[in-house]
Chain A
Amino acid sequence: GAVVSQHPSWVICKSGTSVKIECRSLDFQATTMFWYRQFPKQSLMLMATSNEGSKATYEQGVEKDKFLINHASLTLSTLTVTSAHPEDSSFYICSATRGDRGRTEAFFGQGTRLTVV
């Protein structure tokens, strides 16, 4: 099946610093990728839609200046958490939909555990 890879799998950073998370589609091109956040014992919440070559679309309540998204190529989207604070500690997950060959299911990365201390 299609593979979506995230890096790093986990990261610990100091409060006030920025962290970049990468999401790659390894064997297909993804014009659109999605970023989710999941707090402990809660479900996934869609944060933003990342569009190749254009600005990301953010869900209501998600600060675009804090969560910078760049989708510079058809296989890579990055999420940068700027000036991270402990409340940003969460599990961040990306997904991409393979639109070719009539496939419509979304494939998810393995997630990135961010801990801000």
Chain B
Amino acid sequence: DAKTTQPPSMDCAEGRAANLPCNHSTISGNEYVYWYRQIHSQGPQYIIHGLKNNETNEMASLIITEDRKSSTLILPHATLRDTAVYYCIVSNYGGSQGNLIFGKGTKLSVKP
């Protein structure tokens, strides 16, 4: 079973920030938080990952709470192309151990 809980769906207006929450209350000390997204009929795309500190890259920002029991993925200026299912996954090193367990994710719909 997935070790994360995400809302099934969210809407966001184009150009606004999309904030996608994720609960991972049973995360262990050596597990990272990874975010992937899957656009319809494509393979998942890596977005960002982090351990303790907040992270930012060209795609998104990741905010992890101090107790590491939850996190938020932020897409600062959502576009229509960001419409996808977003998966929050906790894992040791992104699956090199073969343990990328996908939950149901959050279906983000960006609307004009």
Contacts and interface: CB of A to CB of B under 8 A. Distances in A.
Given A43-B104, A104-B49, A34 B44 contact: no
Contact of B102 (A6, A32, A44, A49): A44
Interface in B42-74: 42-46, 49
A110 interface: yes
Chain A: number of interface residues, binned into ranges? 20 to 34
Kindly name the residue among A44, A91, A97, A107 whose own CB sees the greatest number of chain B CB atoms within 10 A.
A44
B17 interface: no
A44 B46 CA distance: 14
Chain B: number of interface residues, binned into ranges? 20 to 34
Interface of A is mostly: strand
Interface in A44-72: 44-46, 49, 57
A45 B45 CA distance: 16
Given A34-B100, A95-B95, 5 more contacts: A36-B102, A43-B103, A46-B98, A95-B44, A113-B41
